[in-house]
Structure 1
Amino acid sequence: MTSILTNNGATAALATLRSINSDMESTQNRISSGYKVETAADNAAYWSIATTMRSDTKALGTVQDALGLGAATTDVAYTALESSIKVVDEIKAKVTAASEPGVDKDKIQKEIKQLQDQLVSISKSASFSGQNWVYHTASAGAGTQSIVGSFNRDNSGNVSLTTLEYDTANSSLVEVDSSGSYVTSVGKGLLSSNIEYTNASGSTATTSFSVLTLDVSSADLTEALKAVDKVLQDMTDAAADVGALNSRIDMQTTFVADLKDSFDKGVGKLVDADMNEESTRLKALQTQQQLGIQALSIANSSSQNILSLFR
């Protein structure tokens, strides 16, 4: 039936054209924004996952900064330990020289005093961002330092942080009390405390001096030599521990960077638009749109053809 009141063909063509225009608008939005899922309305599940993962990626970026700070701190501590080992090695050589008959011990002691002052200078200057792992005072004593190593989210959505911990008592070279005097208790500073060593009889003995207070003009040189050598061993162990921590920080930094990249790739697969696919789809929609306009034009012209029946 042909009617001048209701044009079913035009109505159908118009509905089709509206659908094509809507699809074209969505495709154009994807092309302009680069996202196939930009809002929750596009795909609530994927949008929710992507939003959470982007937040976690930002947290991992902060972890990277923390690891960088930790790496710098451990680098400084390791450098101080390594430099101090070289200076103590020199002191050991001076003690050996002082053991030779006829040597002027007072002159050797002056040289040792310069080396002792250098050790204190190294320890005090080994500070980064307010942290010093080798020089400790009454107000900034040795203790466990935590470096944020990773951000974690479990299967239940609970979040947590992984930390790398190190007790700076193990790397402490100099420790002073509130008056600025050296703390002489064994283990309170490898260079500033009295030294516990194994004597000739195989027993454990403790000196009445430290590396920083050693005076070859009055000390038992056999005892001093054994004690200084023991300190060298302890400093080498401390440097090895700090070096191992530094190596772990480097590995963790690489892992966090790779993890961030994986998160970015995963989010991209969920929400990024495939530009090749979208451009092809846009071409098809443009063709459909032209055909839809043509179909609507034909449907609208059918009512004009009714006039010819009355001529």
Structure 2
Amino acid sequence: GAGAIFSLDSTGTKIVLNAQADVEFQNAASQAALGFTSSSTTASTYTAGGVTASTVVSSDLSISGVTQRASLAQQYNNLLNQITQLAGDASYNGVNLIAGKGNDMNIKFNDTGSSNLNVASVDATASGLGLSAITNSNSSTSQTGLGNFLLNADVNKTLATLTSAGNSLNSAASTLGSNLSVVQNRQDFSKQIINVLQTGSANLTNADLNQEAANSQALSTRQSMGISALSLANSAQQGVLQLLR
């Protein structure tokens, strides 16, 4: 019915045709002015008020902007491939934290592993972000010929998907940034511990041998004097006992 082919816009001043409408024009000049191309399809002839007029038929979906939108859709698909490839190449030492879930990285902060941090991986590929390639079919009706960004509804749906993907990336970046901050703090702490241990080791191994020899001799002398003092005390006690007898 006519209602399914065209309708009035919100202002009531324009006719809105759907993508399946068979558009015919009064003459070739009108067709060109509206941005449609010619077609080999046989035109219709109408008679109204005793006047007969032949129309000009447009080829299917060959209006200005369709080719450009199809080109943009192809560029969009190429960018999706680049996103997936970049995520796949972002690996280090065999670990990739953004090419898919299940490839977590566990960081140990001590020799026993009792202190550690588990960094969860995310899926930043195109499919993981919910981004799908643009096809030649409408995303809602799957009808061939209505895709390739032809309909504004498809463009708006893709924009909403991109917004959601951007939010997911921001959330993942925030989480990874927080984990990085923890690792950097533990790295600084470990460096300080290393400095303390190195200082203690240097105090033990880099001593002045002459000074330590003198300290050892002094300790030996103190021990000898202590033993002599105890011996004299015992001798004095023995003398007192003999006098008492």
TM-score (norm 2): 0.48
- Which structure: larger Rg? 2
Which structure would you say has the larger RCO, counting Cα contacts within 8 Å and 6 or more residues apart? 1
